[in-house]
Amino acid sequence: MSKFDKNTKNVKLSDMTKKQILVLEAAIAVFSRYGVRKATMGEIAQTAQISRQTLYAIYPSKEDIFANALRLMTERSFQDIHDEWERSTSLDEKLNAYFDHFIIAYFRHIQALPDADDLLTGIDEITANFVKEIEGQKAVLLEGLFEPYREQLLAFETTPENLADFFQTSSSNFKNAANDEPHLVRLLIPLKQSVLAMLGEANPA
């Protein structure tokens, strides 16, 4: 099993029950409709077709629900990118897939929320811990992708681990700094091209 396979298969949904997933999918729908701040536990319970008591027994707070909803969406993205990378034949395609699943899709979802402007500024400790964990998993994923280029990277006095950290941190910062999706894409393209050039995989087109 490759380092990539080992790392991505560790990110799975099997530790969630069907009822937990049902609640989180209902919460995502409610958050998308009203925004995270205005959404209520009662609306989430109603959408999930369960009682408020059952909802609180599963997730004790809206913050806990939001953190786990992020986790659900991200773990599904990990599985999607695993499948797409298996089909990809070039590093260029794999980096595009990373952008599509982890940067652009996230940006679209957050921008669609009614309270997108102030959502992340009010992020709570539970959610912040989940986000930190997820970002770490993305870096490990990229380490596996860059591992075959370790010798090339030595010429630049760096390592797959350092490049993964740089790539993950930069792309994540871009999604928070971009004014809109076209702006985000314009920021991501030079990042990808610089990495491809460093690794000798530059696209001549």
**pTM for the complete prediction?**
0.79
Residue 205 is assigned to a structural domain of this protein: no
Residue 161 is assigned to a structural domain of this protein: yes
Q: List the structure tokens of 50.
A: 């369960």
pLDDT in tens, 153-175: 999 999 999 999 999 999 999 98
Q: How many domains does the chain have?
A: 1
Kindly report the CATH number assigned to the domain that includes residue 59. 1.10.357.10
| Residue range(s) defining the domain that contains residue 139 | 3-198
Residue 66 is assigned to a structural domain of this protein: yes
Q: Are 51 and 45 in contact (CB under 8 A)?
A: yes
Residue 140 is assigned to a structural domain of this protein: yes
Q: List the structure tokens of 173.
A: 């910062």
Residue 96 is assigned to a structural domain of this protein: yes
Closest C-alpha among 17, 16, 19, 13 to residue 55: 19
Residue 203 is assigned to a structural domain of this protein: no
pLDDT in tens, 103-121: 998 888 878 777 655 455 4
Residue 204 is assigned to a structural domain of this protein: no
Q: Are 154 and 199 in contact (CB under 8 A)?
A: no
